[in-house]
Structure 1
Amino acid sequence: MTGALRLLRIAALLVAAWLPSAGAGAAPDPLPSWVAGASKSAIVQFVTTVTDAGSDGFVPPAERIATFDNDGTLWSEQPLYFQGYFALQQIRDMAPDHPEWKEREPYRSVLANDLPALLAHGKAGLMEVLLTAHSGMTADEFVASVARWREKARHPGTGKPFTQMVYQPMLELLDYLRDNDFKVYIVSGGGVDFMRVFAEEVYGVPPEQVVGSTLDATLEMRDGIPTIVKAPKLVLIDDKAGKPVGIYRHIGRRPILAGGNSDGDLQMLEYTTVQRSGADTTPRLGLIVHHTDAEREYAYDRDSHMGRLDKALDVAPERGWLVVDMKRDWKRVYPGEQ
């Protein structure tokens, strides 16, 4: 066989081998809202490594735990955490039964729709409003109140329902991980009871995989029915150092992937990614959503009153964390956008 014929035969064999896959079409892109680039490649490479049984970095499915913050990581958080808007409405709904609130701060500021005045009361004032709005009722009553709010409430800037202000690229990432046998958890400073009302419908995350700030509760018999009643006492603040504690208490496994957007997620990212010993060679990924897009969403980091990203942004390079630039790395922000 001449050299030319040999080359033609090899070429024919290559074409024959390629045609079936070409006819079937290329595999669909699991992250279509992500711009092709370093961030998308890093995510795909990580998932490929931990799911390849022939790879030194293979991780058994039972250990593929991923945790994500909610506010600013899975949905927007400006100009106020969305749960804050719920709490404000809850106070207004409760006000007819509390005429004294008209003259009592911080409730007077809430009823006057004066957000700057409310914020001037600082953390203590906000905490009082949140505890009042989230307690003193049964668990079922609270779920019903969140569901009513969710149906009617709209974001003051976009006019969208709050549950439509989720990030399309992050929804795709959650699906991509689940398709590769990851178990995905929400680990957020937001109230666990609040998030559980919509997490499964919006994110595909069932209630038992939501970890959040938690109020105490009691069991009472009401008309012969065992009933959970929410109490105005925090038993877990699932923020900063509280996030690894919440993971330990509720998940019982250390994540191999954690995603956040602020200094409130710093300890969760460290807990997930810092190797405990030289023998720990498990691949690990820390991901930070950096809000850089003032046109499609918001641009903020170090000086923001919500979702402040300062120290975590500084340590990200030395920790090897992936910093996702919203403006550069995302083709779209919210579902339905082009």
Structure 2
Amino acid sequence: MFVPRDLQTASCALAIFLIVALAPVVAVAQSDPLPSWNDTAPKATIITFVEKVTKQGSPDFVPEAERIAVFDNDGTLWVEHPSYTQLAFALDRVKMLAPQHPEWRETQPFKAVLDGDMKTLAASGEKGLLELIMTTHAGMTSSDFQKVVSDWLASARDPKFKRPYTELVYQPMVELLAYLRANGFKTFIVSGGGIEFMRPWAEKIYGVPPEQVIGSSIKTEFRMQDDTPTLYRLPEVNFIDDKAGKPVGINQQIGRRPIAAFGNSDGDLQMLQWTTMAGGPARLGVLIHHTDAAREYAYDRDTEFGRLDKALDAAAITGWTVVDMKADWKQVFKD
């Protein structure tokens, strides 16, 4: 097709103008380490902190070996309502194993699970929930349990979003994990959830390898089964990695005090205190506040799962950053 010379010249000029004009915009978009975060105070605080502790010559510079960041899991990295994912797993396990245990039909808290009576189950308290976990998570080798978890996650769906639980991770937090690692941080999950429940999938979903997952555990013992060495899971509590247990778990498994901690509930209070109230170089404490009923959930002080009460009050005193999910995140999930 013939195009007049003047029009060709004008088109070239326009193309050059657009390239020059849009180049800064493209550069800014590419350099944004947290694209799913709105440009509000929490994002600026996080970026400023990272720049301070990674800049050579800065009074707040921290060597790479000491750049430890710890993250709660439930409600901080993925959805924890209407109940913890691991609890949903335990309830499904009760239903699956029930034919082998006819006595459960008359025994609490198993009867409540089989009847769908969540009120009675909740009334059984921590003791009842612990009994469910011990019964459904033990009596097998560690490798067998990992397969059970992986198979369940492949088929289970969240009741609200109708999606696999591993798709209900918070995209802004996945970006934050990657941003910290790109700046020399080692990232750890420190959760009240079961350590062997999280390890099979944490690396694929979060980029956190199994050795950097800290969680609650049940006792295991070494056994030879058919001339094969195994670790067998026993129905006994070994360690509860929640509340005051979190700093203990961090000290036992990491051996260094973190300089950044991220949580969302009172179960993370002591972890944030341990991280931020030690003096020394710059330190960062962040709480994720669930305020977005449209895209996820809105809750804080009045909930059974992920209650944010004492920690929210402490944030105002200590200067921890509180992320308002509705205001500070452009998107919640990847899609």
TM-score, scaled to structure 1: 0.90
Corresponding position of 1:172: 175
Corresponding position of 2:8: none
Corresponding position of 1:12: none
Residues 221-278 of structure 1: per-residue CA shift (max 9 Å, x gap): 00111110011111211001000000000011100000000010000000000035xx
Residues 65-121 of structure 1: per-residue CA shift (max 9 Å, x gap): 000000000001011000000001111121121111112111111122222221122
The answer to whether the aligner puts 1:222 opposite 2:225 as a matched pair is yes
- Measured after TM superposition, the shift of residue 23 of structure 1 is 11
Segment drifting more, 91-100 vs 172-181: 91-100
The answer to whether the aligner puts 1:335 opposite 2:327 as a matched pair is no
**What are the ranges of 5 or more consecutive residues in structure 1 without an aligned counterpart?**
1-17
Query: How do 1:130-169 and structure 2 match up within 5 A?
Result: 130-169=133-172
Corresponding position of 1:42: 45
Segment drifting more, 96-105 vs 55-64: 96-105
Residues 162-184 of structure 1: per-residue CA shift (max 9 Å, x gap): 11111000000000000001000
The partner residue of 1:66 within 42, 65, 69 is 69
| Structure 2 SS opposite 1:232 | strand
Corresponding position of 2:7: none
Corresponding position of 2:4: none
Residues 185-209 of structure 1: per-residue CA shift (max 9 Å, x gap): 0000000000101100110100000
Between the aligned partners of 2:24 and 2:290, the Cα distance in structure 1 is 39
The answer to whether the aligner puts 1:30 opposite 2:12 as a matched pair is no
Q: Percent identity?
A: 55
- Measured after TM superposition, the shift of residue 323 of structure 1 is 0.3
CA RMSD of aligned residues (A): 1.6
Residues 259-318 of structure 1: per-residue CA shift (max 9 Å, x gap): 000010000000000035xxx2x1100000000111111111011110001111011022
- Measured after TM superposition, the shift of residue 44 of structure 1 is 0.3
- Measured after TM superposition, the shift of residue 57 of structure 1 is 0.7
For residue 319 of structure 1, what is the amino acid of its counterpart? T
Corresponding position of 1:285: 284
Moved over 6 A (4+): none
- Measured after TM superposition, the shift of residue 133 of structure 1 is 0.9
Corresponding position of 2:306: 307
The answer to whether the aligner puts 1:53 opposite 2:56 as a matched pair is yes
| Structure 2 SS opposite 1:253 | coil
**What are the ranges of 5 or more consecutive residues in structure 2 without an aligned counterpart?**
1-19
Between the aligned partners of 2:304 and 2:82, the Cα distance in structure 1 is 9
Between the aligned partners of 2:158 and 2:46, the Cα distance in structure 1 is 31
| Structure 1 SS opposite 2:136 | helix
For residue 235 of structure 1, what is the amino acid of its counterpart? N
Between the aligned partners of 2:24 and 2:166, the Cα distance in structure 1 is 39
Between the aligned partners of 2:177 and 2:26, the Cα distance in structure 1 is 26
Between the aligned partners of 1:303 and 1:23, the Cα distance in structure 2 is 43
The answer to whether the aligner puts 1:117 opposite 2:120 as a matched pair is yes
The number of aligned residues is 314
Residues 41-78 of structure 1: per-residue CA shift (max 9 Å, x gap): 00000000001012111100000000000000000101
For residue 333 of structure 2, what is the amino acid of its counterpart? Y
Between the aligned partners of 1:194 and 1:69, the Cα distance in structure 2 is 14
Distance 1:28 1:230, change over 3 A: same
Distance 1:22 1:80, change over 3 A: closer
| Structure 1 SS opposite 2:193 | strand
Query: How do 1:181-200 and structure 2 match up within 5 A?
Result: 181-200=184-203
For residue 199 of structure 2, what is the amino acid of its counterpart? R
The partner residue of 1:249 within 240, 249, 252 is 252
Between the aligned partners of 1:311 and 1:88, the Cα distance in structure 2 is 29
Query: How do 1:260-299 and structure 2 match up within 5 A?
Result: 260-276=263-279, 280=280, 282-299=281-298
| Structure 1 SS opposite 2:192 | strand
| Structure 1 SS opposite 2:31 | coil
TM-score, scaled to structure 2: 0.91
The answer to whether the aligner puts 1:75 opposite 2:74 as a matched pair is no
